[in-house]
Structure 1
Amino acid sequence: MAFLNTVLEPPAYGWTDELGNLSKPTNKQIVKEFFKRLNVFSNKKNWLSFLSWSLVVALVPFLGLFIFKYFSITGLIVAFIYSMIIMGTHGTIWHHRYCTHGAYTFKNKFWRFFTQNLTLKIIPEEIYAVSHHVHHALSDQPGDPYNAQGGFMYCFLADVNHQPIARNMDEATYKKCVNLMKHTGVNTNTYKQYQKWGTLANPTRTIIGIILNWGFWFTAFYLLGGPALACAVFGSAGIWAVGVRTFNYEGHGKGKDMRREGIDHNREDMSINQLWPGYVAGEWHNNHHLYPKSARSGFKPYQFDLAWCYIKMMSMLGAVSSYRDSKADFLKEYCTPVPVAVPAAIQVTEILVAAE
């Protein structure tokens, strides 16, 4: 816990105020911190955050071309499916259930690489996974990198303001941080390289990996449907990249207690189950906070879990060698009818009445 309390680089406005409560910066402070941490000219250790948002900006021209030059109803349907369902589900499968929680294991490196690159690479694994461990350890408490009580902007710009790893770790602490990512296949920096770049990820390898990933998918979609399809897919990926940054604000009740009896069983934090993220991405968030290491989070009959469908299918094909499934535990704990004890005197009375 002490490690997770210090593994992220604190913002200028801090995690807590002078009374130990959540520090709630103004939107002006948040935006100021955002641009400060994107400035690679003042500090090259800002490179990963700068890269992450540069990828979003790089997708804008594709969206513009699709809307103003290649627009069609078919393209719109493709864009919707790719951004809302394929990108969303892949984020749950790869970044969430595998990179962060290790809810399942691959048979070999090929299937890990295959799953990692099923969609466009936009969010670096380091930014997501390390901070998400902190989110679970400090959910809705000061130090939670996307604490919904901090407001919409606090969550929306969290990937830059709150999620990068600390830059002053000693070597032993850095090794602990590396251990959080070693199963993902991400080639991490040596401690000396970390001191130079401030990240687990190496700039050269990261950028080359993204170029190869984007090049492969642009070529594939171009060959399948020409520039119209390529622009529809790439543009919609940009929409997802912006939209996904709003999820944790919504998924934790916008900073309010919006949990419902019989639906949101986890009472340790403000996470809630939502139909839209559940159906399009398998993200039944309250269930996930109950059983974070489960490869399935859609436990009830109506909670369709597309991410689980992929993991289960890959297991049946032999690509996934093991997984955790907490459905049985959930049903036993939260859905088994509780027997009502009937006093013996009432039982005897009922028998006598029935006999008469």
Structure 2
Amino acid sequence: MAFIHHVLEEPSYGWKDNDGNLSKPTKKQIIKEFFSRLNVFKDRRNWLSFVAWLMVLSLVPFLLLFIFKYFTFTGLLIAFVYSMVVMGTHGTVWYHRYCTHRAYQFRNNFWRFFTQNLTLKIIPEEIYAISHHVHHALSDQPGDPYNAQGGFLYCFLADANHQPIARDLSEKDYSRCVTLMKHTGVKVNTYAQYKKWGSVANPFYLILGVILNWSFWFAVFYFTGGMALACAIFGAAGVWAVGVRTFNFEGHGKGEDKRREGIDHNWSDMSVNQLWPGIVAGEWHNNHHLFPKSARSGFKPYQVDSAWYYIKFMSLIGAVSKYHDSKPQFYKEYMTAEPKKEMVFCPTTGKPILVVE
């Protein structure tokens, strides 16, 4: 079996049914699997999913404090911009275009560290990056960790149910996982440590990194605008952490074919370009599936791409040493391609006719 088919831990309900089609679990099965995957008392190798959701829950008190004690419309505006634009753009820049697709390269480790910690750290890189390779290889097929045809909960809880790596990988396959992660700067486990913890990421260094990241940003926001600003932004980060888990369900048409001629040019899967994620986070999803290794996915004039603007700016100041931009190729292949011409003869008159497709 190919690496991409078994690198992720298969859920108890399986990827496929008896006929080889997508196994569509019930809501009860999905929720049962979710809590089983968070149970660190049952299996300490569940630690990564547990920590990921613990971070989300840890942000809830800040959100409640903002709503019931520190609420102002100015704070609401700041929270909105931070969650939708700042964290959305950072998610595209860091997790999507760099950690997974390596669409650009940093000049040195300082700029990588700078970009990695530009916002509150909430999603472990491993959870996102490795599973996203599988998503592209098996998009909308059985084995896609967030296959929209499985339903909303199938996608929403995928980070725990479908995205962790398998726990029985051979040393060779584990090394391949490490290779997929080594450019991110994540401190990785040895193979012996992987057998113990079930992850590429080392738990001590990941948790320490989160604590330092949160401490730094809380101090910055607190000394800038007091507890009100800190609660507004930390609470907003929690909203983003929940909202981002809904994206792939929406971004693949909620399990239906919602692609549109002239707007979506990739017809090999169900990904669609959406106006809102595109504008606030530079996530033109159909374009991205068309050219996944491109540092830019906003190809058309109206397709605002804040993630690309950040990458381009970093390139101009020398922080990014190399990037790949597929916009010229997109226009050449999908917007300005020469029409196919063929000369045929009219069966009635026998005169030649130029047919343009």
Task: Give TM class, smaller chain.
Answer: over 0.9
Structure 1 gaps, min length 5 = 350-356
- TM-score of the aligned structures, taking structure 1 as reference length: 0.96
What is residue 326 of structure 2 aligned with on the other side?
326
- TM-score of the aligned structures, taking structure 2 as reference length: 0.95
5 Å-filtered alignment, 1:1-356, equals: 2-336=2-336, 338-339=338-339, 341=341
* Structure-2 separation of matches of 1:157 and 1:225: 34
Structure 2 gaps, min length 5 = 352-357
* Structure-2 separation of matches of 1:303 and 1:144: 27
What is residue 355 of structure 2 aligned with on the other side?
none
* Structure-1 separation of matches of 2:258 and 2:343: 37
What is residue 354 of structure 1 aligned with on the other side?
none
Q: CA deviation at 1:170?
A: 1.0
CA displacement, residues 74-109 of structure 1 (integer Å, 9 cap, x when unaligned):
000000000000000000000000000000000000
User: Once the two structures are aligned, what percentage of the paired residues are identical?
Assistant: 72
The one-letter code of the counterpart of 2:198 is G
Other structure's SS at 2:229 match? helix
What is residue 352 of structure 1 aligned with on the other side?
none
Q: CA deviation at 1:132?
A: 0.1
* Structure-2 separation of matches of 1:151 and 1:334: 31
* Structure-2 separation of matches of 1:155 and 1:345: 54
Q: CA deviation at 1:340?
A: 7.0
* Structure-1 separation of matches of 2:259 and 2:129: 25
Over aligned residues, Cα RMSD in angstroms?
Answer: 1.4
The one-letter code of the counterpart of 1:134 is V
* Structure-2 separation of matches of 1:247 and 1:292: 17
Other structure's SS at 1:292 match? coil
* Structure-2 separation of matches of 1:199 and 1:191: 9
Other structure's SS at 2:105 match? strand
* Structure-1 separation of matches of 2:39 and 2:214: 25
Other structure's SS at 1:322 match? strand
Other structure's SS at 1:304 match? coil
CA displacement, residues 124-167 of structure 1 (integer Å, 9 cap, x when unaligned):
00000000000000000000000000000000000000000000
